[in-house]
Structure 1
């Protein structure tokens, strides 16, 4: 069986790695010319995602991943703050949590190594369809078309493959524009290092403004103590932060701004909304070249509305089907789980236990359930943030935060 994967993000590379390891003929095509040319937050992989990944990559690759990842169990409990930096509450104890955080670049590079020569970079897909023999075909902006027994779209939120199958977009704007960046912990003042601590946290203010600060330390908090295997691009305690504002003409215009100009614009927006100066240090002292903007998109939370097409020899996975805002921290993990499930189904086809259409049908049914689960979680945080973007919501937040802050002082002193 020949499988063509369109898209070399986490889900596409994971599937390509698994197919190659199981002896399938596979080709992964991606428009990027460098697998390290990617941004975004760090990636959280829970035990389900790690278990799925073990089915796709060699044991040594898994060890290299763990040696390059930051263990949640070594972090302090997450924190929730208001716009003045006052503590409102803490998350659960993480000492028994088996989840890991890893740089997106690190994970992508490891998976690309597993795919090897079957990864074709710098190839932009222009269309998918069927040849005269009924076999799926992939067309490119340059180069000859490629035929396959199965085509899998792993081409993200704006998936060409999923749009071909669904006859239109499979997701819509979630109402938030996100801005991300990286800041070394050592570059912050002693006061902010103390307040933020070795933990992740979220601060929400009125009018839909929010700031997530994620802690990543693949060296000091390494999941596996094997420095000789480490290949993380983050080499010390670092905060990977994400600022969020509701969509508007003013906010959307910031998506065209870059580097220092974008950083300055973000600081102005937070200042205008009354955020304390020290809470913005993590933005003010960020690596300028890491600051970027992007729109939150989301698919339907209803499983029945995901992958709304008849099962066949063209399918899709990950954000191409269940585009998920980063507010759940589970999007990449779900794509990896999709890849493992599809690989297992294709194994049944290889063994003669079912047809390709039957395998894809069962895969898509499971993917709908997974997608619905993570989208429901992600949407909860989005709704919470957007709920403050009204007169009533802003007033409720202003009234409740002093009470929550006072209760937190008593509880955590």
Structure 2
């Protein structure tokens, strides 16, 4: 199929990875991204071998190497650790995912940096500021409608447009978005030598959660790149638009409904950054001095609120020229750090499937059906487990979830 063309709604982690994989396979695609540019795009992402192996498969060698070099240095222990508010370790559990690389393990990335790396070489493929609003599909093609009134035609449409996907809403309107009621505030504190000296050692594990007696909950993630981002980018992708990023700690205040701390929390989206910072400082009053100092040092310009939402697993749907990946079909709470990794896993699997169809090796619809069935089998158990109220318990890990060793 020399004219085979894939339309991708959404230029996030999954959409860009898919575009890179298709480009590597010699398949034309166009990515339509609503945002005017890469944007802030959140902060630190936990990476496991599922996501890292997908990047290895989809990215050209120099960009995969840039991803590795700008990933976090290997943590003290590659586990999820739970502390009390005084920094005492209560327990730990392994991360989920296939076995990690023993030499240069997949660890964590800065989300914006990863998206900028994945955008290299796609400058003529990604259409920023263009929003897909709907589609019509028949036996031969799929046509998308854009917010500016124009349309585009392709052979396949991939919904990579996140939990609020307009494509999923049209294709699978019965799939609900579930608001868990939990709220959060993400922020960054620069990781300086003097801050590092007062933090509990456990903060250098893979991912850390600390809970207070009133129900306040913080999660932490260290980001210390293996190589300075600007240096690695200049060496491996000279001229690419990749911002320098220094070491930091991501701190997320989780506000759980029904707890004393979660009672009568103001509207986070109407509050100023200073008010949000004051709320974060109040949450760690009486905590371990290092954990409290970390919150004091937060850069208030990096604070943003978030609501924790998820999707219900969808029942199998009729196969067609429209398919989905990532948060558009299995948005999940961050309990296992699997959301981005699952999206990357989807992208690599779908790029592989579409390449086989485009090169005439297999018919298109059966290969899409196989991709969707395998995605439901592999990712939906993680979605279900992450939505379980016990998901943040250190002793809870379903038997059907693989763990990295």
**Structure 2 length-normalised TM:** 0.82
* CA deviation after TM superposition for structure 1 residue 215, in Å: 1.0
Partner of 1:408: none
Alignment partner of 2:332 out of 324, 337, 343: 324
Give the Cα–Cα distance (whole angstroms) in 1 for the partners of residues 137 and 101 of structure 2: 52
Q: CA separation in 1, counterparts of 2:109 and 2:176?
A: 28
In structure 2, what is the equivalent of residue 139 of structure 1?
145
User: What SS is found at the alignment partner of 1:117?
Assistant: coil
In structure 1, C-alpha distance between the alignment counterparts of 2:191 and 2:80, rounded to whole Å: 16
- 1:150 alignment partner in structure 2: 156
Structure 1 position 374 matched with structure 2 position 382: yes
| CA deviation map 1:244-296 (0-9, x unaligned) | 1124784471133342221112333454xx64565332222111111111111
- Displacement of 1:171 in angstroms is 3.2
Change (3 A) 1:77 1:345: closer
Structure 2 residues without counterparts, runs of 5 or longer: 394-405
Q: What is the DSSP-based 3-state SS (H/G/I as helix, E as strand, rest coil) of the residue aligned with 2:123?
A: helix
Contact 1:103 1:232 in 2 (8 A): no
Cα-to-partner distance string for 1:343-369 (whole Å, 9 max, x where unaligned): 111122123333221111111011112
| CA offsets 1:27-82 (integer angstroms, 9 cap, x no match) | 000011111x1332412222232222122110011111111111335668664211
Distance of 2:137 and 2:94 partners within structure 1: 51
Cα–Cα, structure 1 residues 68 and 89, in superposed 2: closer, same or farther, change >3 Å?
Answer: same
Give distance in 1, aligned partners of 2:160 and 2:363.
22
Query: In the aligned structure 1, how far is the partner of 2:193 from the partner of 2:273?
Result: 18
Is contact 2:69–2:227 with CA below 8 Å preserved after alignment? no
- The answer on whether the counterparts of 1:154 and 1:317 sit within 8 Å (CA) in structure 2 is yes
Pairing 1:115–2:122 present: yes
In structure 1, what is the Cα distance between the partners aligned to 2:324 and 2:64? 25
Query: Match of 1:282?
Result: 294
**1:286–1:88 distance in 2 versus 1, CA, 3 Å:** same
Report the Cα distance in structure 1 between the residues aligned to 2:233 and 2:142, rounded to whole angstroms.
Answer: 44
Count of aligned residue pairs for this structure pair:
376
Which runs of 5 or more structure 1 residues have no equivalent in the other structure? Answer: 386-413
Please state whether the residue corresponding to 1:368 is helix, strand or coil. helix
Q: Pick one of 263, 269, 293 that aligns with 2:277.
A: 263
How many Å separate the matches in 2 of 1:251 and 1:187?
Answer: 34
Q: Mark the CA change 1:204 to 1:31 in structure 2 (over 3 Å): closer, same or farther.
A: same
- Using the TM superposition, give the Cα deviation of residue 105 of structure 1 relative to its aligned residue in structure 2, in angstroms: 0.5
Partner of 1:245: 255
Q: Secondary structure at the match of 1:54?
A: helix
TM-score, normalised by the number of residues in structure 1: 0.81
**Partner Cα separation in structure 2 for residue 76 and residue 227 of structure 1:** 29
Query: Which SS does the other structure have where 1:254 is aligned?
Result: coil
The answer to whether the 8 A contact 2:22-2:355 is kept is no
- Residue equivalent to 1:160: 166
CA drift at 1:175: 3.3
Q: Quote how far apart the aligned CAs of 1:170 are.
A: 4.4
Answer yes or no: is the 8 Å Cα contact 2:357–2:363 preserved in 1.
yes
1:88–1:188 Cα change, 3 Å: farther
Residues 169 and 234 of structure 1: CA distance in aligned 2, closer, same or farther (over 3 Å) = farther
Q: How many Å separate the matches in 1 of 2:101 and 2:29? A: 40
CA gap 1:179/1:278 in 2 versus in 1, 3 angstroms:
same
- Inter-partner Cα distance in structure 2 for 1:330 and 1:19: 23
State the shift of 1:384 in Å. Answer: 4.1
Pick the aligned partner of 2:35 from 21, 32, 37: 32
Question: Contact 1:73–1:98 at 8 Å: present in 2 too?
Answer: no
- Determine if the alignment matches structure 1 residue 8 to structure 2 residue 8: no
Shift in CA distance, 153/45, structure 1 to aligned 2, threshold 3 Å: same
- Per the alignment, residue 211 of structure 2 pairs with 204
Larger relative contact order (CA 8 Å, sep ≥ 6): 2
1:129 to 120, 127, 136: 136
Among 296, 301, 305, which residue is 2:308 paired with? Answer: 296
SS at match of 2:204: coil
**Residues 72 and 324 (structure 1), Cα distance of their counterparts in 2 relative to 1, 3 Å cut:** farther
Once structures 1 and 2 are overlaid, which stretch shifts more, 232-241 or 145-154?
232-241
Does structure 2 retain, via aligned residues, the 8 Å contact 1:76–1:197? no
Moved more, 201-210 or 9-18: 201-210
**RMSD value, Cα:** 3.1
